[in-house]
Structure 1
């Protein structure tokens, strides 16, 4: 079996605080991702999905630190200096940012924004890089690519700007692509096209894809494996089909129950009560305990350990631990 491309072990991210322990944002995250594989990261807003993505690519805001291990092809990324990380970003790890309008340079033509990465990472001259940029715009299905390459971001629609963001991320042919909510606020037909573009590169180029989304439908259509995050903690992981058809975590079950469905009669959409807690106000036990319909007394006082079931399947839930001990 080939070694994983991306290996994350016990990654924790916290806000630095002088003279004391940092404020935890992500805690004890571990995962593996191989070439040609797809992993979905799903959870409500505030669960830490985008923070995990930024941690992998080394773009955490100032004042936020990380510990643990992030390895790309066996190379540890966390200790790397900024200059060395710049050689990894774009070239080895590409990223599609959540909001294309703020991710793109408003005073630079989109073709030049794509070409810039090609020049920087692949050592190609500007003339050839601009030709490659037009080819990439055509590849991500922007009509009249040669004309659009000379446009500024504000002259494009939201879907076109998202495609430009994909072209920038793919320009240097990265081994790993992190896509942070790449289909947010786009209509269904545009969503489908963007997911098809990403899938083509995974299948044809052996690229690894980490897809961040709050949309379980997008994850189900695009990812072989899924990790569920809640309040900075890993709650469940496994093959997407197994996670969605047989969820072991009450939180995953709550997310699935909240999906809109075609129903007969006037019935309310199911919802998880309450809100994701702030990182400065996490409950002392399970982070989901105050919203969980299946909680027992232990849930409110004990932080559950991660329980692995083999084949990459695992869950963080005291009820799962109890059920396993009773079965044994």
Structure 2
């Protein structure tokens, strides 16, 4: 019997392009090629889909972030079918055969936000991870908080700053933010990997922080600072009818001198530490794991998610956010949480592909 054909898709038209490549590099290195036929496909910054070239770089080298090498043969995925076709300039299109599943190791807008999931749904192709709705709501932090609060999860105070609010009613925005108390954290509503986030301690720094975040997204979220430890938990869909499983919780600490968990802390060496299991009372750890599963099920997630919380000195858990396609290098938090829970990175990759293969395309 032929091996399932898995297309690993990475890159994309957003600021998390490099993060996607780093995760894809780990997947390509770890996937069992005796079990799967692998097709690496990059999406360049200009939106072109290409077969990965032999010289494609996936890691940060000498401080330089990787990006998709767009010199490879162009790829098309016709709507309504699962046939990948490669196009070389001036040549006859070459059919690459049926793709059994797409593994989109992608983050941010036009990728993790339901965009590529909708494209694959229209093409009738199975894929790893959550569907359109869960991906879209999980990406938009404002709607995510609304949905999670409705499910009963504890949410910290925040203000949503939409483009029209900032342009036409800025004084009202300032007053609403001041009611949160200083400092606040300002972030793009629909970005990840800590892109565009900054801390504001007063009115002037708020102006700068909002303008900085608006460089990534015209919709901005301003959150009250929460004193507490950052505890994260990964959730994985069951292969059968059992409920989703939660990993052991882990505590993230910044080691590089940054005042919060920013991009460099997440992706540059020796900038963060992860303690698994987190030092928590057993009852708190179990409550956190149950809340993580509740968040996963509230959005009707599929595959894998990472759910982040704050644990305050008063002993309270506060939901921060859910990531429907978390950072996915072998050293990223979600894979490390599962490794500490008994599931190795190669086995996690295999599990996600098997989940996708068992899933029927379309409404479910």
Higher relative contact order (CA 8 A, sep 6+): 1
**TM-score normalized by the length of structure 1:** 0.30
**TM-score normalized by the length of structure 2:** 0.28
